[in-house]
């Protein structure tokens, strides 16, 4: 196959060198679609993949197709041909073809040109509690975007701390493989890559303009706005980064074909995209898309994809491929979104419930889904590469892992943790990545005060009860404290904490811990002027519990 196999080669130099010839360079190896091939999902098509030794995918496959079929598309870079059968062809005919063509020399696989879809979760209620963060962001950069105060996603991943260092380098490019992006949206236009005609390519309609059609298709514009909507431009919402974006339109309102998505991934890599985001899935495992993602990785791109919205189902493809970073979704309270898929392939978690971003025709809206979480990670990856431009895609991937924050979920739900922009930008790659390192002996912990309280919660007929406590600091120089709740295994209790002495509520608090079960923990750093207000709240079940406060001082 064609391509540079060194993931460390400088893609940005390629992108600059392409200049006005970007569109021509980007579609090398992709043959134009046969006239009359309808846009959208490619029904009745079989993808035939050939080996690296084959001189031509078209020549290899052509002699093996039956008289009622024809080759309608080829991609010599990825080494495949799409063979179309008439609509009235029997299913047995296509199955026989797949079996027979596999006997041919240089043919490696044959599979249906299946359809993938955008991974937006519609009509869902998500938890909107305050998010707890664990990195010490220091001085925070507050952008002037008028809707920033209505957002939570950039704040949850600590963009404000990262923005002190960089808002994103336009030399870093993120490709949005999705529905078309409204590239002249007032909050996107300045960040669209200008090196390619119309800022991208359309693999649905097979033309050079990825602009969305007049009706629908908000998904791509929303995803783009999350990763790279204009930040600190006095317009709309704040995107995660001000990196450049490309639009690779591979989905229509009714989904997109396997071949179109694979071509879009290859094109993005050939354009020199540092990061490729795919908020799509549902087509199952395919060899072609695995090959396309591996090709992009070999070209130096970091490929990121949404895990899927099947309410705890297994991670979707393409996110499940080894070459792709799989992202799960969190709600505002840093709990796993109910719709999010889970599994051992999950590498990072990010906010995906009720995320505010741009939509078509110069507007804004909140969408939910792992589709929204994936571009958060893509934007953070862009900020990280802006701060550390020498990182290869593998080094960038590892650095995002090492600087992520554990939010108390299982590894198959959060992977390495919630992605953290400040940690990733402020931590030198290869150095200590613990955002809250343990203090040296003697700095904290010479004086320890422990307080316990016991209580019992029972719902009875009154609903979910709660107990409230207050605690004044006892150490001379307090530096940290840990509040733990130990309750019955057959109940679910939640723990809420305020640092100014007021009684917490389930919607008004500074820190909280809640999971399935009744064992919760909150750890906080202290400066000496805090007074705790604590709420133990019953979600389900009943029983006695023990509340413990361990305060450390020096």
pLDDT of residue 40: 55
| Rounded CA separation 299/432 (Å) | 29
| 173-178/275-278 β-pairing | parallel
- Please tell me the predicted confidence (pLDDT) of residue 509: 87
pLDDT at 435 over 50: no
Please list the residues that pair with 175 across neighbouring strands. 246, 276
pLDDT class of 36 with cuts at 50, 70, 90 = very low
Tokens describing residue 137: 């962001």
Coil, helix or strand at residue 548: strand
Q: Is residue 18 very low, low, confident or very high in pLDDT (cuts 50, 70, 90)? A: very low
Share of the chain above pLDDT 70, in %: 86
Whole-number pLDDT of residue 188 = 98
Region 428-438: mean pLDDT is 63
Which residues carry out catalysis?
178, 219, 371
Would you state the pLDDT for residue 39? 55
DSSP 8-state assignment for residue 161: H
Q: What's the pLDDT at 122?
A: 57
Higher-pLDDT residue of 26, 455: 455
Closest CA to 446 of 417, 423, 476, 490: 476
Q: How much is the pLDDT for 21?
A: 25
Structure tokens belonging to residue 190: 């300045």
Sheet holding 244-249, edge to edge: 200-202, 244-249, 173-178, 275-278, 302-306, 324-330, 346-351
Classify each residue of 230-261 as buried b or exposed e, where b means 16 or more C-beta atoms within 10 Å of its C-beta. bbebebbbbbbbbbbbbbbbbbbbebbbbbbb
Residue 200 pLDDT: 97
For residue 305, how many C-alpha atoms fall within 13 Å in the half-sphere facing its CB?
30
Instruction: Taking residues 531-550, report their average pLDDT.
Output: 89
Between CA 469 and CA 530 the distance in angstroms is: 14
**H helices, E strands: number in the chain:** 13, 24
pLDDT reported for residue 93:
86
Question: What mean pLDDT do residues 84-111 have?
Answer: 90
Taking the C-alpha atoms of residue 180 and residue 168, their distance in angstroms, rounded to an integer, is 23
Tell which wins on pLDDT, 210 or 501. Answer: 210
The β-bridge partners of 275 are 174, 302
The answer to whether the beta carbons of residues 169 and 259 sit under 8 Å apart is no
Q: Shortest CA distance to 412 belongs to which of 307, 485, 497?
A: 307
Residue 423 CA to its chain's centroid (Å): 17
| Torsion, Cα of 482, 439, 418, 223 (10° steps) | 120
For 59-74, the pLDDT digits (tens) are 999 989 999 999 999 9
Widest Cα–Cα separation across the chain: 88
User: Is the Cα torsion angle 300, 165, 189, 252 positive or negative in sign?
Assistant: positive
pLDDT tens string 319-345: 999 999 999 999 998 999 999 999 999
pTM of the model: 0.72
Q: Is 474 helix (H, G, I), strand (E, B) or coil?
A: coil
402: left (phi over 0), alpha (psi -120 to 50) or beta: alpha
Separation between Cα atoms, residue 213 and residue 204, nearest integer Å: 11
> CB-side exposure of 264: number of CA atoms within 13 Å?
35
pLDDT of residue 15: 34
pLDDT in tens, 493-517: 889 999 988 998 887 888 888 777 7
Going by C-beta distance under 8 Å and a sequence separation of 6 or more, which residues neighbour residue 97? 46, 65, 66, 69, 83, 85, 110
What are φ and ψ of residue 366, in 5° steps?
A: -105, 130
- Contact assessment for residue 179 and residue 220, using Cβ atoms and an 8 Å cutoff: yes
Please state which of the ranges 111-115, 167-171, 309-313, 456-460 shows the lowest mean pLDDT: 456-460
List the domains of the chain with CATH numbers.
118-133+152-426 (3.40.50.200), 447-553 (2.60.120.380)
Distance from C-alpha of 112 to C-alpha of 320, rounded to nearest angstrom: 19
pLDDT exceeds cutoff 60 at 527: yes
With helix as H, strand as E and coil as C, how does 297-355 read? HHCCCEEEEECCCCCCCCCCCCCCCCCEEEEEEECCCCCECCCCCCCCCEEEEEECCCE
What confidence score (pLDDT) does residue 91 get? 79
E strand or H helix that includes residue 376:
helix 370-387
Mean pLDDT, rounded, for 85-108: 89
**340: which 2 tokens?**
């999010």
Q: Which residue has the tokens 């309750």?
A: 487
What's the confidence (pLDDT) of residue 430?
A: 85
Q: With CA atoms as reference, report the closest residue to 275 among 229, 325, 238, 231.
A: 325
CA distances 129 to 14, 59, 272, 506, 538, Å, are 44, 59, 39, 8, 16
Residue 541 scores a pLDDT above 90: no
Torsional sign, CA 498, 500, 504, 508 = negative
């Amino acid at each position: 196959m064609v391509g540079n196999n060194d993931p460390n080669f400088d893609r940005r130099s390629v992108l600059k060198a392409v200049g006005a010839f970007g569109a021509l360079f980007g579609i090398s190896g992709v043959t134009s679609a046969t006239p009359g091939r309808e846009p959208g999902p490619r029904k009745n098509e079989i993808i035939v993949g050939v080996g690296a030794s084959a001189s031509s995918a078209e020549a290899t496959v052509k002699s093996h197709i039956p008289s009622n079929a024809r080759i309608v598309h080829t991609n010599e870079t990825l080494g495949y041909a799409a063979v179309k059968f008439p609509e009235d062809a029997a299913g047995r005919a296509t199955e026989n073809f797949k079996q027979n063509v596999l006997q041919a020399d240089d043919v490696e696989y044959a599979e249906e040109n299946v359809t993938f879809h955008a991974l937006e979760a519609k009509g869902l209620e998500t938890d909107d509690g305050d998010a707890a963060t664990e990195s010490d962001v220091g001085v925070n950069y507050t952008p002037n975007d008028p809707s920033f105060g209505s957002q939570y996603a950039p704040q949850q991943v600590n963009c404000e701390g990262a923005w002190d260092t960089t808002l994103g380098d336009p030399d870093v490019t993120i490709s949005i493989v999705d529905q078309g992006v409204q590239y002249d949206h007032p909050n996107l236009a300045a960040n669209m890559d200008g090196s390619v005609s119309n800022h991208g390519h359309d693999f649905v309609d097979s033309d050079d303009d990825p602009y969305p059609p007049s009706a629908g298709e908000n998904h791509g514009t929303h995803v783009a706005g999350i990763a790279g909507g204009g930040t600190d431009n006095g317009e709309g919402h704040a995107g995660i980064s001000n990196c450049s974006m490309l639009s690779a339109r591979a989905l229509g309102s009714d989904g997109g074909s396997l071949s179109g998505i694979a071509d879009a991934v290859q094109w993005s890599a050939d354009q020199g995209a540092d990061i490729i985001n795919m908020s799509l899935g549902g087509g199952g495992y395919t060899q072609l898309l695995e090959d396309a993602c591996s090709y992009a990785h070999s070209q130096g791109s970091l490929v990121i994809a949404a895990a899927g919205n099947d309410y705890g189902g297994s991670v979707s493809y393409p996110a499940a491929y080894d070459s792709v970073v799989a992202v799960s979704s969190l709600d505002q309270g840093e709990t796993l979104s109910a719709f999010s898929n889970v599994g051992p392939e999950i590498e990072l978690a990010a906010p995906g419930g009720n995320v505010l971003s741009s939509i078509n025709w110069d507007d804004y809206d909140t969408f939910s889904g792992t589709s929204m979480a994936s571009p958060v990670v893509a934007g953070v990856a862009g900020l990280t590469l802006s701060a550390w431009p020498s990182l290869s895609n593998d080094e960038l991937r590892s650095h995002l892992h090492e600087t992520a924050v554990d939010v108390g979920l299982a590894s198959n739900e959060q992977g390495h943790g919630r992605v953290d922009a400040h940690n990733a930008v402020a931590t030198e790659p290869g150095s200590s990545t613990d955002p809250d390192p343990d203090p040296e002996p003697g700095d904290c912990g010479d004086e320890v005060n422990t307080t316990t309280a016991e209580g019992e919660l029972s719902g009875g007929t009154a609903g979910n009860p709660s107990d409230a406590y207050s605690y004044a600091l006892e150490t001379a120089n307090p530096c940290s404290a840990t509040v733990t709740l130990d309750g019955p295994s057959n109940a679910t209790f939640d723990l809420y904490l305020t640092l100014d002495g007021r009684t917490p509520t389930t919607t008004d608090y500074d820190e909280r811990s809640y999971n399935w079960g009744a064992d919760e923990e909150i750890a906080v750093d202290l400066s000496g002027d805090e007074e705790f207000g604590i709420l133990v709240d019953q979600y389900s079940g009943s029983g006695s519990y023990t509340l413990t406060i361990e305060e450390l001082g020096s």
